[in-house]
Amino acid sequence: MLSLHNPMNIKETNRCLSACFLLVLSACEEERSEEQVRITVTCAAATLDVMKSTQCSANATDPDGRPADVGSLSWSSSDGELAGVDSTGRVEARARGTVTIRATAFSTRYDVLPGEATLNVQGLIHSGNITASETWRAADNPHVVRTFLTVAGANAPQLTLEAGVVVRFQPLATLDVGGTETGILSVEGTEASPVLLTSDDPDTASESRSWAGILVNEHSSLRLHHAVIEGVNGNSLGGALYVNGSLLADNVTVRRCLGGAYLLDGGTFAPGSTKLRVNGCGHPLSSRADAVGSIPTDSEFTGNQSNAVFVSGSVKHSQTWPNLGVPYVMRSDLYVMDLQSRPVLTLVPGTEIRMAPDKEVWVDEQGSLVAQGTATRPIRFVAHSSTPSPGFWKGLTFGDAGGSRLEHVSVSHAGPAALTVRQELGAFVTRSEFTHSSGCGLLRALEVTTDFTRAEYGNTFSDNVLGAQCPPRDDPSARPTREADDS
C-alpha cells in the first residue's frame, strides 16, 4: 500500500495520472480522426471558355473511402467576376483567369473538410464600339462578340484578326464595319492557320439562336484572307456578308447559313479576290448587276439549297460575267445602258441566265451585249422555272446597241417575242436559236432590214406560237400577227 505522505509515492502517482491522460487523449484524437469527412469536387471541364458553363459535382467520403452523408452542399467561387456558381454546382465563366470552385457542408455528425477544384477561364468578350485600331490575337482565343460590335470612326480604325483567331458570336450579334463613318476589318488567316468566325451556339438550326453576319458599309472595307464564316442564320435574310463597300476575298469559305454574300448598292469584290467557296447555305450569292463582273472566276458554289447567283439591277460599266458553273437568276429587268459610260456586257461560253416572271433584258442607249457561245457551250436565256410556259418572261430587246453580238445563244419561253430589234444593227445574231415564244421568235422595227431568219445566218426558230418572224412594225411592241414557223 502506497503512502501519500511519501514523496516518492506522490511522484509515482503523478506519472500514472499523466500516462492515463495521454492514453485517453490519444483515443479521443483517434476517434475524432475517424469522424472526419472530406469533400472532393470534380468539374466536367478544367478549362472553360468565357460565357460557357460546366457542371461541377461533389462527394463526401470518410477516412476509409466510404460515402458519407453530409446533407446539403454550399457552393462558392473564389472570384465572382471570373466565374459564378449556382446552388447545383453549375459554373458560368465570365472573364479570363484562374478561379477556385469550393463546396462546403455543415454537419453535426462529422468534421467536414471542404473540397475545391481549379478552373482556368480563357477568352475575351467584346461588344460596343471600336474607335481605335486594335488586333485580336490567337493567344486570347476565343473572342466572343456578345451583341452589336461596330468598327468605325473619323480616322478609319482597323480591327485586325491575326492567323488562328477564333471569334464566336452570340445569338443575333452583328459585326458592323464602318457604321455611319469609316472602318476596316482585316482578317489575316493563313492556309495553315485560318481565322474562324462562327456561332457561339453549336446548334444553328434555329435562326433565333444564331448570329446575324458581317455588314460592310459604304466607304469601308473588308479584307478576308483564309477565313471560314459559318452558322449565320440570325437575320431575316440570313446573309453571312452584307457588303456595301469593298470586299477582298482570298480563300474564303462560307458555310451553314441562309445566304452567303450580298453585294448591295456600293458593294463589290476588290481586285485580287479569289476562291470564294459557299456550301451548305440557302443560296451562295446575291449581287447587283453592275458588280457581277467582280465575282472571283474560281468561286465554288456547291451543296446549297439553290446553287445560283441572284442578280438585280442594271449594268452601267463594261464587264465580263464569269461562268461560275451555276446559273444567274435575274430577279429584276436587266438593263445594259448608259449614254456616258457606254457599257459592254460580255457573257462567256456556257453561261446560263434564268429570268424571273415578266422580266426582260433590254440593251439600249449605246450599251452593248456580247454573248458569244460555242456549239457545245451555248449561252442560254431561259425561264426561272422547272415547268415554264411560253411568255414566262419578256425576251431580249435591242435598241441603240451598236457593237452587240449574239452567237450560239439560246432563248426560250419568252414573249411576246424572243428577240426584239428596234434599230438596224447589222447581222449581229448568228447560229442562235429562239424557241417557245408566246408570240414571234423575232420582232423587228420597219427600219431594221436585216432578216435574221435567212439561212445564211444559221439561226433556228421553233415552237413559237406566232411563227419565226412577225412582219416589221413601226412599234415593235405592237401585238404581232401569226406567221408560219420555219421549224
Consecutive sets of 10 residues in the chain, 487 residues long: mean pLDDT of each? 52 55 46 72 96 95 90 94 96 96 88 94 96 98 95 97 97 93 97 96 56 93 97 72 95 92 90 96 94 97 95 97 97 96 98 98 97 98 97 97 98 97 97 97 94 95 95 63 40
Q: What is the dihedral of CA 342, 348, 352, 356, to 10 degrees?
A: -10
Which residue's entry shows cell 449556382?
86
Give residue 392's pLDDT. 98
User: Does residue 282 sit in the same domain as residue 252?
Assistant: yes
Cβ within 8 Å of residue 384, ≥6 positions away: 329, 330, 354, 355, 356, 357, 393
Query: Domain check: are 291 and 157 in the same one?
Result: yes
Q: What letter would DSSP give residue 235?
A: S
- Same domain as 132, residue 164: yes
Whether residue 138 is found in the same domain as residue 208: yes
Q: How far apart are CA 479 and CA 465, in angstroms?
A: 13
Whether 460 is in a domain gets the answer yes
- Residue 322 CA to residue 346 CA, distance in Å, equals 9
Name the residue with cell 469601308: 220
Residue 7 CB partners (closer than 8 Å, separation 6+): none
- Choose one of 96, 122, 148: the last residue of a domain: 122
Residues 268 and 340 in one domain: no
Place of cell 423587228: 444
Collapse the DSSP code of 290 into the 3-class scheme (helix H, G, I; strand E, B; otherwise coil) and give the result.
Answer: helix
Residues 166/142, Cβ–Cβ less than 8 Å: yes
Tell me which DSSP letter residue 266 carries.
Answer: T
- Say if 263 falls within a structural domain: yes
Residue 97: count other Cβ atoms within 10 Å of its Cβ.
16
SS3 390: coil
Q: Are 124 and 50 in contact (CB under 8 A)?
A: yes
Q: Do 285 and 257 meet the contact criterion of CB atoms below 8 Å apart?
A: no
Residues ≥6 apart with Cβ < 8 Å to 163 = 138, 188, 189, 190, 192, 193, 194, 195, 226
C-alpha cell at 155: 480616322
- Domain contains 280: yes
> Domain boundary at 105, 122, 139, which?
122
Residues 291 and 341 in one domain: no
CB atoms inside a 10 Å sphere around CB 159: 21
Please indicate, yes or no, whether residues 92 and 180 belong to a single structural domain of this protein: no
Q: Residue 192 is which amino acid?
A: A
Residue 260, C-alpha cell as written in the block = 452567303
* Residue 231 belongs to some domain of the structure: yes
CATH number at residue 84: 2.60.40.1080
Q: Which of 432, 18, 232 is nearest to 241 (CA)?
A: 232
Residues forming beta bridges with residue 232, ordered by sequence position = 211, 257
Can you give the pLDDT at residue 24?
Answer: 45
Contact 121, 83 (CB under 8 A): yes
Report if residue 18 sits inside a domain: no
The answer to whether residue 30 is domain-embedded is: no
Task: Report residue 99 as a C-alpha cell.
Answer: 478561379
Considering the domain architecture, whether residues 333 and 471 belong to the same structural domain is answered as yes
How many domains does the chain fold into? 3
Domain boundary among 251, 282, 312: 312
Q: Domain check: are 106 and 215 in the same one? A: no
Place of cell 472553360: 48
What the block records as the C-alpha cell of 264 is: 448591295
Residue entry with cell 464564316 = 229
192 and 259: one domain?
A: yes
Say if 5 falls within a structural domain. Answer: no
Short-list 312, 216, 305, 309, CA closest to 268: 216
Shared domain for 434 and 385, answered yes or no, is yes
Q: How far apart are the C-alpha atoms of 453 and 36, rounded to whole Å?
A: 104
Strands 429-430 and 460-462, sheet pairing: unpaired
Q: Please check whether residue 227 lies inside any domain of the structure.
A: yes
pLDDT in the model for residue 9: 58
Q: Are 138 and 284 within one domain?
A: yes
Range of the domain at 74: 36-122
